[in-house]
Structure 1
Amino acid sequence: MADRLTGEQRSRVMARIGQKNTAPELFVRRALHAAGLRFRLHRRDLPGSPDLALPKHRMVVLVHGCFWHGHDCRRGMRPQSNVEFWAPKLERNMERDRQVRSKLEALGWRVVIVWECALDEGVQSILSQVYASAGAIEPER
């Protein structure tokens, strides 16, 4: 499919995408908080500064955008134009994700990855994914 935007317009759109406090991340934060789970944001003392850290449960939640982290879904499709730029960039992102995950696990943290496309399934899907990864955790009161 051809891009409907010019190269300059696409560049402006992509440059505006932030690293923190994205819409998917805010959605997950609201869901976990409403479920009674408490967390810390972007802990710089942990590898990769995970989006959410639940210290009581030694668990981190990484909210991954399908495009940026190379998910195998419709939203994760690679661009057809400027492939020589995008392919190595997205590969580096995926390699960094693997390294961060292994470092966190080596430190004894459980890692939960919530993909942007999973948010379409709703809050219950996210909570069940977190609870399944965490074992038997109780929401904090």
Structure 2
Amino acid sequence: MASVRQRDTGPEMRLRKAMHRLGLRYRLHDRKLPGSPDLVFPRFNAVVFVHGCFWHVHGCKYSTAPTTRKEFWAEKFSANRARDERNVNLLLADGWRVLTVWECALKGKLRRKRWPKRWRNSHPGVALDC
């Protein structure tokens, strides 16, 4: 698992390009914040996590469970979900708006008008998925 990328993944890069095209400026992977969010918008007091459907067990067609070492993967996925929930709760407690974008939501064509509307209408702890 050492070869699994944590930063600059394909879905993250697609979202970053879309946000930049819309004129939104952000910071990357602020280690001072819980969970080191993928995108940080200090001006809006908002953070974005881009989650892979497999690693964070989204439940869509892209999050199939491995058939080998089932106990190991169950523990791994459970720990990932617990960590994600803990980080979101810490950020919300500190007054941050948290947006979780799932990998499957970034598949296909990104529509320019869709993202800003969802961003403005989002509430703390909202998630964009497929």
- Fold match (TM-score > 0.5): yes
Alignment: residue pair count: 121
Report what 1:50 is aligned to. Answer: 37
Q: Could you tell me which amino acid in structure 1 is paired with residue 75 of structure 2?
A: P
Which one is further off, 68-77 or 123-132?
123-132
Change (3 A) 1:106 1:63: same
- CA–CA distance in 2 between the matches of 1:63 and 1:84? 26
- Residue 88 (structure 1) aligned to one of 55, 61, 75: 75
Extract unaligned runs of 5+ from structure 2.
124-130
Aligned residue for 2:84, secondary structure, equals helix
TM-score, normalisation: structure 2 = 0.86
Q: Does residue 1:69 correspond to 2:51, yes or no? A: no
Aligned residue for 2:34, secondary structure, equals coil
Deviation readout 1:86-131 (Å, 9 max, x if unpaired):
1100110000000000000000000000000001253234444323
Q: Runs of at least 4 residues of structure 1 off by over 4 A?
A: none
Structure showing greater radius of gyration is: 1
- CA–CA distance in 1 between the matches of 2:5 and 2:17? 19
- Residue 118 (structure 2) aligned to one of 129, 132, 138: 129
Q: Does residue 1:40 correspond to 2:27, yes or no? A: yes
Q: Over aligned residue pairs, what C-alpha RMSD do you find?
A: 1.5
Higher helix share: 1
Aligned residue for 1:111, secondary structure, equals strand
Aligned residue for 1:68, secondary structure, equals coil
Change (3 A) 1:116 1:126: farther
- CA–CA distance in 1 between the matches of 2:19 and 2:12? 11
Report what 1:97 is aligned to. Answer: 84
Change (3 A) 1:81 1:109: same
**Aligned residues with identical type, % of pairs:** 47
- CA–CA distance in 1 between the matches of 2:84 and 2:43? 23
Q: Does residue 1:59 correspond to 2:41, yes or no? A: no
TM-score, normalisation: structure 1 = 0.80
Deviation readout 1:33-54 (Å, 9 max, x if unpaired):
1000010000011111100000
- CA–CA distance in 2 between the matches of 1:112 and 1:121? 20
